[in-house]
Structure 1
Amino acid sequence: MMNGSRMALVVLGMHRSGTSALAGTFARLGFGAPRLALDASEDNPGGFYESAPVVKANYDVLQTLGAFWNDCFNFDPERVGAHMPEAIVAKLAGVLEAAFDPDRPPVLKDPRMCVLFPLWARVFARLEMTAPVLLMLRHPAEVTDSLVRRNGLPATGAAALTLHHMLEAERATRNAPRALLSYDELLDDWQGLVRRAVRETGLNPPRDVAAAKAEIEAFLDQTARHHNAWPGAPMPGAAPVARLLEQAWKALVFLARVPGDGMSMAVLDHVHGQFRAIRKNGALRALIIDEAGES
C-alpha cells in the first residue's frame, strides 16, 4: 500500500511525444519511478519510465474491448470509464499500489492512459488519491513521422491516432489539476516548464530544482531529437484528418498558454464531435486501409 502521500503524478501524451523525457525529469525531482520499468530501447535510450505491470494491465483492458494501442478508434473512452465493472477498477488499483515504492508519490506514465483516463479516474477515486496531470504536446508532424518510421504505420493512421489521443486526454482531464506542456519547452527551458507545472497544478516536488539541476540536464542531454517540424508545418494525413488535426493543434497550443480558455475547449469539442463521426461511420478506417494498400 502507498501509505505516504496519496497522490500520483500522471504524465499523459501520445506515443513519441516526449512523455518519457518529461516523466524522467520529474522522477529526478523526487517523484517515484516504477519498481519494474520497461527496458530502454535504441530509439529511447533514456528509458520509458513506464511500469511494466501498469502497461500490461492497460493492454489487457484494451484487448478486452477489442482495441490495441495502434487501433483504439472503436470505443468511447467516457463510456468505458463509466461502465467498466468495479472488479476491473479494483484490479487496476492493486496493480498501481504494487508498482511503486510507498515512500514517494509515483510518476505514472503510459500513453494508453490518454484513452483510458476516465477508467483510471475511478481508480484514483477508489484509492483516495489526487492525480494532477501533465499533458505533453508535440507537433503532430513530428509524432506522426516518428510513428511511420518506427512502427510502419500509414501516415493517416498515425495522424488519426495522434488526434484521438490528444482529444481524449484533454477532454478527460478538464476537471483535474493539470498543465499542458510542450516538448519544445522541455528541451529549451526545462526549469521554466517545471515552474509552470508547479504553478498550474499545485505540485510540490519532493526534491529541490537546484539540487536536481545537474542530473536533469545530463538526462535531457540524452534526449535525441530525430524528428523536427517548423511551427507552421503542414499537418500529416489525408484531408479530413489533417484538417481536424490542425484545428485541434492550434486550440491546444492556445490552451497551454491560457489555461481554462473556453473558446479553445469549444473548438476541441467541435473537433471531437467531427472526428467521432468519421470514426463511427467507417470513413476513417476506409481512409487508413486505402492508404495502407497504396504503400
Structure 2
Amino acid sequence: MATKATAVCILGMHRSGTSSVTRAISLLGFYLGSEANLMGPGADNPEGFWEHTEICTLQERLLQQLNRRWDTPLPLPEGWQQTEMVRPFREELKQLVASNFAGHTSWAWKDPRSCLLMPLWREILAELHVDLRCLFVVRSPIEVTNSLARRDPISVNHAMGVWFNYCITALKDTIDVPTAFLSYDTFIASWETELRRCADILNLDWLDDEKTLHETMQAFIRPDLRHNRSNRADLADVPLPARKLYETLVAACAQTASQGNCFKREVSELAADFHAYARFFESDLQGQARPSPINRTFSRWRKSFRKRFSIN
C-alpha cells in the first residue's frame, strides 16, 4: 500500500515572516516544487519568497474571478468553492498539485492568499488522498500593517482590515485541521526551539543530520532585515476585535499540543461577528473590477458627513 502524502500549508498574512518559516520547512525535507517554479527574491524580500509561482498566479486569478484582490478586507461568502464559476479553477488546481507534487510524500506550499482559499484546498487534497497539516505564522498586526503600508499604497487601517480578514478566515476554515502556531518573534530569537515545538505538534520528522539545517538557518535568519518592531503598549491603538484575535493567536503559540474547545469557540465567535458585519459592505463589491471597496465607501461617507454637518 502506497504511503499517504503529507502536505504542510504555511499560513499567515503577507509580511508576517512566512517566507523564513517556509525556507526552514523546506530544509526539514518538505518539497516546495522545482527551483524553476519558485519565486525569486525581491526588493521587499531579499532572502526569497519560497512561493510556487503557478500556485500564486492561479490563486490571484481565482480571487479576481470572485471579485476580490489580495488586499480586499471582506470575507468570501460561505460555499464559494462550490459555485460554478470556481469549477475550472478547481480542476486546474487539482492538476497543478498532481503534476508538481506527485511522488513526493512530504511537500509544502506558501502563498498568503491560501488563507482566503483553504476550503478549496481542503477538498482537492482530500480527493487526492493527501494529509493536510498547517503551520500558522503569527506576527503582531502593528508590525504587519506598518510593513504593508510602507510597501503598498494602502492606509494602516486598510491593512489592519486585510490582516484581520486573512487571519480569521484561515482560522475558521482550518479549525479541525492539525495546526501548529509559530511566533515570528520567537522564531527570529530562537528558530530551532520554536520550529521543534511546531514539528512535534504536527508530528513532522526532524533531521538526523542537522549540520546543513543549522548552517543554512544561521545565515538565513537575519534580524537586520526586520524593519518593523512593536511592543505590547502599541496594541492599545488596535481595534478591539483585532486585538482579541491577536491575543488568541499569541496564546496559541504558547501551546505544545493542538488547540482545545475554548480556542475553537473564540475563533467561531470572532468569525461569526466578522461575517455579520461584512454584510454591510457586500453591495460595494458589485461591478467592481478592482475591488478595494472599504476605502471608497468610507471616503464617500466621510465627505457626505462633513458636508452635512459643515465640518471642515
Shorter-normalised TM-score: what interval?
0.7 to 0.9
Alpha-carbon distance, 1:11 to partner:
0.4
- Determine whether 1:75 maps to 2:72: no
Structure 2 CA distance for partners of 1:223 and 1:269, relative to 1, 3 Å: farther
Tell me if the contact between 2:5 and 2:105 (Cα under 8 Å) persists in the aligned partners.
no
d(CA) in 1 for partners of 2:198 and 2:117?
22
* Secondary structure of 1:275's aligned partner: helix
Give the counterpart letter for 1:278 in structure 2: Y
Deviation digits for residues 56-80 of structure 1 (CA, Å, limit 9, x no counterpart): 111111111111101151522x412
Q: How does 1:15-54 map to 2 (within 5 A)?
A: 15-35=14-34, 36-54=37-55
Tell me if the contact between 1:4 and 1:105 (Cα under 8 Å) persists in the aligned partners.
no
* Secondary structure of 1:274's aligned partner: helix
Give the counterpart letter for 1:244 in structure 2: P
The residue that corresponds to 1:194 in the other structure is 195
Cα root mean square deviation, aligned: 2.6
Alpha-carbon distance, 1:223 to partner:
6.7
Aligned length: 287
* Secondary structure of 1:131's aligned partner: strand
Alpha-carbon distance, 1:6 to partner:
1.2
Deviation digits for residues 96-123 of structure 1 (CA, Å, limit 9, x no counterpart): 2333584462221000000100110011
Give the number of the structure whose alpha-carbon radius of gyration is greater. 2
The residue that corresponds to 2:170 in the other structure is 169
Structure 2 CA distance for partners of 1:144 and 1:199, relative to 1, 3 Å: same
d(CA) in 1 for partners of 2:224 and 2:31?
20
* TM-score for both structures, normalised by structure 2: 0.83
* Secondary structure of 1:228's aligned partner: coil
Tell me if the contact between 2:182 and 2:195 (Cα under 8 Å) persists in the aligned partners.
no
Give the counterpart letter for 2:79 in structure 1: R
Alpha-carbon distance, 1:231 to partner:
2.8
d(CA) in 1 for partners of 2:127 and 2:88?
12
Deviation digits for residues 124-148 of structure 1 (CA, Å, limit 9, x no counterpart): 1111101111001100000000111
Alpha-carbon distance, 1:282 to partner:
2.1
Structure 2 CA distance for partners of 1:292 and 1:137, relative to 1, 3 Å: farther
Deviation digits for residues 205-241 of structure 1 (CA, Å, limit 9, x no counterpart): 466444411111111127710100113322666xxxx
What percentage of aligned pairs have identical amino acids?
A: 24
Give the counterpart letter for 2:122 in structure 1: A
d(CA) in 1 for partners of 2:272 and 2:182?
24
* Secondary structure of 2:117's aligned partner: helix
Tell me if the contact between 2:41 and 2:48 (Cα under 8 Å) persists in the aligned partners.
yes
* TM-score for both structures, normalised by structure 1: 0.87
Alpha-carbon distance, 1:152 to partner:
1.6
Tell me if the contact between 1:12 and 1:133 (Cα under 8 Å) persists in the aligned partners.
yes
Q: How does 1:95-174 map to 2 (within 5 A)?
A: 95-100=96-101, 102-103=103-104, 105-174=106-175
Alpha-carbon distance, 1:271 to partner:
1.9
- Determine whether 1:289 maps to 2:286: no
d(CA) in 1 for partners of 2:124 and 2:163?
25
d(CA) in 2 for partners of 1:108 and 1:217?
22
Mind listing any 5+ residue stretches in structure 1 that lack a counterpart? none
Mind listing any 5+ residue stretches in structure 2 that lack a counterpart? 285-291, 303-312
Tell me if the contact between 2:188 and 2:223 (Cα under 8 Å) persists in the aligned partners.
no
Give the counterpart letter for 1:79 in structure 2: G
Tell me if the contact between 2:4 and 2:131 (Cα under 8 Å) persists in the aligned partners.
no
Alpha-carbon distance, 1:186 to partner:
1.0
d(CA) in 2 for partners of 1:290 and 1:64?
22
Tell me if the contact between 2:139 and 2:183 (Cα under 8 Å) persists in the aligned partners.
yes
The residue that corresponds to 1:12 in the other structure is 11
* Secondary structure of 2:276's aligned partner: helix
d(CA) in 1 for partners of 2:94 and 2:237?
37
Alpha-carbon distance, 1:267 to partner:
2.3
